[in-house]
Structure formats: structure tokens, C-alpha cells
Amino acid sequence: MNKHIEHISIAFFATVLLVWLVPSMLLATDPLPRPNVLFIAVDDLRSDLGALGILHAKTPQLDAFASTARLFRRHYVQVPTCGASRCALWRGQYPSVGSQVNNGGIASTQANWGTRSLPALFRQNGYQTLAIGKLTHHPGGLTGKNWAEGPEELPGAWDRAWIPDGPWKSPEAIMHGYADGEDRKPGKSPAWQAKDGPDDAYPDAWVAKEAVATLTQLASQTQPWFFGVGFFKPHLPFAAPKKWHDLHSSSVPNLPPNAAAKPNWPSGWHASSEFRRNYGHEAGRDPATDVAYARLLRGAYAASVSYMDAQVGRVLAALQDLQLDKNTIVIVWSDHGFLLGEHAIWGKHCLYEHALRTPMLIRYPGMLYPGTASDTVVETVDLYPTLADLCSLPAPKELDGRSLRPQLIDPSANEHKPATSFWTDGQRTVRTDRWRLIAQHDKDRGEQRLELFDYETDSDETKNLAASHPEVVRELLAHLQRMPNPTASNASKKAN
């Protein structure tokens, strides 16, 4: 054979082989048939992870997990309060009525969508569905007295929803628990606590222990499962064993003065009622005027984060030790952030970046480019279609999000879809790669109250540029006009 022709033939067949192999290689990166799902929910965790380059709180376990997963650096929740954010998560939709922007949103509206909720979809398709800790607004899933009695918050979704055994007397007590079974006394109990004792002096260690025991049981069954594990920290009170407070005793940065100032324009500032009303403060100490107290609280928050991080690490280690990681999709998600003095706010319940941006990590077996983060803007409502897609389940047509499979295959994929979030009294915001617009009709002024921030030049949101960039405002308002506009009264802001 002519050598020239021989080289052409070899090249031709090599090309054909490559064309045949590449799709097969890509398919091999998809989850295995009927993968399990481990969904880890964290309460009030802002985007303060070492993996995100933020060193406020030490998070070695989540950082290690991020090196095996896809970290979404710019994930935004739909509503900055626990129950409403989780309503958008399990419903897969933006809030469409006022009650869905407050903590009773799941219980009060589930009759219209509960049978197509995310856990219900898995249950209807042969999965066992389990929920330990806080997955909806009420740990254990009941809404009656002390959250220990019926009715169910999301009936028909879970085969079993429960809280771990422990010294706390009720689900409501463990939600706001102090050391060794102590319950919160509203308006009197401190906003932080540091007991010198073991991790199981506080609730999240009990959640982790129960989760590990449940995974051990699941390892012996053939039925696929969707297992939700809901941790309580770093939600108020910032309470954790003393060793975690000691870890942060000298490493918590102060806020820059300009970042800690109350906005000097009509804004979404609030008086931090959850923090001030539900907790007592020694000798009237106020972090707004007491720099040392502000630093103490920021350190206590970081301690709660690191304590929670250690408990998440126990669950992830058990998943690997039991070899369940080989066919399990793992999600780590937080329901909203928490302002630690930014804008002179101590809490969530606003539409600023630190209230809405939270960690979200996804891992599935055989995923390409593990440890490479995605910088595309994504939303909580994207999780429902993503999990339905990865598990080959029929997603309801009503969903508002889109599958993140493209970003899971290629972390550089960017669809330029903005994130939309909502709060009471018709407040809404849109976040793009560069800008955030917050809009609300100001009844007293008889006009729109607008806040516009440019994160390329002002990551601390210290300058409202709405007046100087009318063209950006018009473009972003046009987006909001296409979105739902749920409204709720101030009375619906019941702190969680």
C-alpha cells in the first residue's frame, strides 16, 4: 500500500473512532442509573467559605468537599427568610402570592403544589424520601404546638421526617437550642453561647449522628433514596462549643467603616428585629455602637459555622466509608445569608448581597472537572430541574428554573440569566453579572424607591447609583416587570 494512502487511512479511522468515543465519554460522566440524592441544607450560611476565598469562618470540611464538586460562586436564593426560601426550593418556582415570601408559605399554599414538590416527585418515582432536621421551615415537618404535633407542613412528600433524639424537649426547642437541652427564652436568652464541652452539647452533632446512622441503614437496601439532612447552625443563637469560639478568637476581621454604615438614601435598611427582639443583650450592649460586641458576635457566628462544618464533614465521611458516594448525588445548599453589621443590619430580611448570596455545591459520580467552580449566576429554583434532569425524572412544566447540567459538564458555561429575589411589601431585586437593582414602591414618597449597585466598583454596596445610571435602571426594571410581584404586609415578617 502506498505510504501516503496508508497514513490517510489511519488518520481517517482514528477520526471516526474519536467521533464515536467522545459522546460515550461524555455520557460516562452522567450519574449512574437511579442515583441516590443526599441533600444537605444549612441554615443562615452566608458565602463565607475558604473555598470562596473568604476567611471569616474556617470551613475545612466544606472546602474539601468543594474540591470534589462544582461550587457555584454566585448562587442566589429567592427570599431572605427560612420558610419562604425553602418554599421556593421545594416548589421550584418564584413566589407568586404574598404568603410565599414569609415563613408560613409552605404550610399555607402546599395544597396547590405539594403533590408536585421536589421530594414528592422522587417519592412518586420509586424513591424512599427521608428528612432529618430542618428541611422545610419546621424541623420534623409538623406545624402544631411546639412543632411537635400535626398538621404536616408538606404532606405526601416524605416517607419519614423527624428530628434526632436529644435533650431538647421539642422541634422548636432544638431549632433555637442552647447547650444540653436549654431552650430559648424569647427576649431574654443571649444571642451567643460558648459552653466548654463536646460537640454533642449542641444540636447539630445530634443531626450528624442520626444522619450517619440512617446512611448505614440505607447502604443495605436496593431502593434508591432521597435523603435530606438539615443543620441548624449558624442560625441564631450563635451557640457552639467553646473550642470553636477559641478557633476564631483572633482571626475575625472588623467591617470597614463604610460597609458598616446605614445607607444615607431611602433603602431597605431594617432595625434587625429578629436579633433585637428574640434575644437579650448584656447591659444593653448594641453592636451598632459597641465595636467590641460587634467583633464578639462576628466571631460567634464564625464559630457556629465551623461547628456546623465539622458535622457536615462527619456525614460526608460516612457516605464515602459506606461507598455510597459511588452512586449518590450530593447537594450542599443554604437557605439565605446573614448580615453581620453590613448596612448596619444584624440579620437577613433584606435584599442586599449578604442576605441573598449563599453557598451551593453539587457533586455527582463521574463529574468532569471536579473542584472547578462556576461563576455563572444561578438561583435556588434551578435546583429542582437540575435534580430531575440528573435523575431522569419528569419535571413539572410549572418550574421557573433551568437545569444546571451545562455548568456541571463545563464550569465555564454561562447563560447570562439574572437572579430574581423577593421580599415583603412588593420589594424585588434582580442581580446580573455586574449589577443589582432593588425596587419598591414607596407609599410615603409616592414613587419607586430604587437602589442600584455596581459590584465591579463597589462590592460593599456603599453607593446607590440609580440616579446616575438611568439606562441600567430601565433595563433591569423591564426584567422585574416580567416577574411575579407577590405582596405581603409588614406583619408577615415574623422572625424565624
Whether residue 287 lies inside any domain: the answer is yes
| Share of the chain residues as helix, strand and coil, in percent rounded to the nearest 5 | 35, 15, 45
| 297 contacts 226 by C-beta, under 8 angstroms | no
Judge contact between 375 and 74, C-beta under 8 A. yes
Measured in degrees and rounded to the nearest 5, phi and psi for residue 438 equal: -110, 130
**What is the pLDDT at residue 7?**
42
Please report, for residues 126, 241, 399, 465, 485, the alpha-carbon distance to residue 109 in angstroms, rounded to integers and kept in the order given. 25, 38, 16, 37, 16
Active-site residue, selected from the candidate residues 56, 75, 87, 137: 137
Of 332, 338, 299, nearest to 313 by C-alpha is 332
**Residue 121 counted as domain residue:** yes
With respect to residue 20, please indicate whether it lies within any of the assigned structural domains: no
Q: Which residue has the cell 483572633?
A: 250
Q: What is each CA distance from 273 to 61, 284, 345, 348, 375, in whole angstroms?
A: 32, 15, 10, 10, 34
Task: Say whether 87 is catalytic.
Answer: no
The values of phi and psi at residue 297, to 5°, are -65, -40
pTM for the complete prediction?
0.92
- Domain of 276 in residue numbering reads as 31-409
Q: Supply the DSSP string of 69-94, one letter for each residue.
A: SEEEEEEE-SSSSHHHHHHHHHHTS-
Is 261 within the bounds of a domain? yes
Question: For every one of its 496 residues, what pLDDT tens digit does the chain have, with 9 covering 90 and above?
Answer: 444 434 434 443 433 343 334 333 343 455 557 999 999 999 999 998 999 988 889 999 999 999 999 999 999 999 999 999 999 999 999 999 999 999 999 999 999 999 999 999 999 999 999 999 999 999 999 999 999 999 999 999 999 999 999 999 999 999 999 999 999 999 999 999 999 999 999 999 999 999 999 999 999 999 999 999 999 999 999 999 999 999 999 888 889 889 999 999 999 999 999 999 999 998 889 999 999 999 999 999 999 999 999 999 999 999 999 999 999 999 999 999 999 999 999 999 999 999 999 999 999 999 999 999 999 999 999 999 999 999 999 999 999 999 999 999 999 999 889 999 999 999 999 999 999 999 998 777 777 899 999 999 999 999 999 999 999 999 999 999 999 999 744 433 444 5
Grid cell locating 374? 462556576
- Tell me the pLDDT of the chain averaged across its residues: 92
Which one of the listed residues 75, 82, 245, 349 is annotated catalytic?
82
Is the CB of residue 245 less than 8 Å from the CB of residue 197?
no
- 474, with CB counted inside 10 A (0-12, 13-18, 19+), is exposed
Give, rounded to a whole angstrom, the gap between the first and last alpha carbons of the chain.
Answer: 80
Whether the ω angle into residue 237 lies within 30 degrees of 0, i.e. cis, is: yes
Provide the CB-side half-sphere exposure for 136 (13 A, CA).
Answer: 31
C-alpha cell at 303: 464559630
Burial track 150-179 (b if 16+ CB lie within 10 A, e otherwise):
eebbbeebbeebbbbebebebbbbbbbbbb
3-state class (DSSP) for residue 74: strand
206 located within any domain: yes
CATH of the domain at 343: 3.40.720.10
Query: Does 202 map to a domain?
Result: yes
Quick one: which H or E segment has residue 246?
Answer: helix 242-247
Q: Is residue 476 part of a domain?
A: no
Residue 82 is a catalytic residue:
yes
- 393, part of any domain: yes
Q: What does the alpha-carbon distance between residue 303 and residue 247 come to, in Å, rounded to a whole number?
A: 7
Residue 36's SS3 state is: strand
Cβ atoms of 223 and 127 closer than 8 Å: yes
Q: Write the single-letter amino acid at 456.
A: E
Q: Domain count of the chain?
A: 1
Q: What number of helices (H) and strands (E) belong to the chain?
A: 14, 16
